[in-house]
């Protein structure tokens, strides 16, 4: 895995959890808006919107660089629209990045011819 591909996966990982947290907070704010006088939906909506747009941009970049299959690429997008999906995406991306580092080291040491 080259440096740009690893960076693309890292950026997607870094925005996954905050995007999921902002989604959950937006849901909480929506409930509070309807049950109390507390209205933070405009602020949380904007924060979540920015994080979601960043997630989509980083997702497209990672998909382009890693050459994921359509199934994998779509799976990562679907995780972004589920309230807690960003946490699962982050965990899976971390595992994928670690596996890529292990494979890269194995190739450098001549253990694997891949």
What is the reported pLDDT for 33? 95
In a 3-state reduction of DSSP, which class is residue 82?
coil
What is the reported pLDDT for 112? 62
**CB-count burial class (<10 Å; 0-12, 13-18, 19+) for 33:** middle
The answer to whether 35 and 85 are in contact (CB under 8 A) is: no
What is the reported pLDDT for 19? 94
CA-to-CA dists, residue 60 to 30, 70, 95, angstroms: 29, 12, 19
Residues of the chain scoring pLDDT < 50: none
- The structure's pTM equals 0.83
The answer to whether 5 and 64 are in contact (CB under 8 A) is: no
Token pair for 106: 């194995």
Q: How many C-beta neighbours within 10 Å does residue 105 have?
A: 11
In a 3-state reduction of DSSP, which class is residue 51?
helix
What is the reported pLDDT for 11? 92
């Amino acid at each position: 895995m080259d440096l740009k591909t690893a960076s693309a996966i890292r950026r997607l990982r870094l925005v996954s959890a905050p995007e999921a947290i902002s989604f959950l907070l937006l849901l909480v704010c929506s409930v509070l808006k309807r049950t109390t006088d507390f209205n933070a939906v405009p602020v949380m909506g904007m924060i979540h919107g920015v994080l979601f747009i960043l997630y989509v941009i980083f997702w497209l970049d990672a998909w382009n660089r890693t050459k994921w299959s359509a199934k994998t690429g779509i799976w990562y997008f679907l995780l972004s629209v589920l309230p807690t999906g960003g946490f699962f995406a982050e965990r899976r991306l971390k595992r994928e990045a670690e596996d890529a580092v292990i494979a890269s080291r194995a190739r450098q040491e001549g253990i694997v011819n891949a």
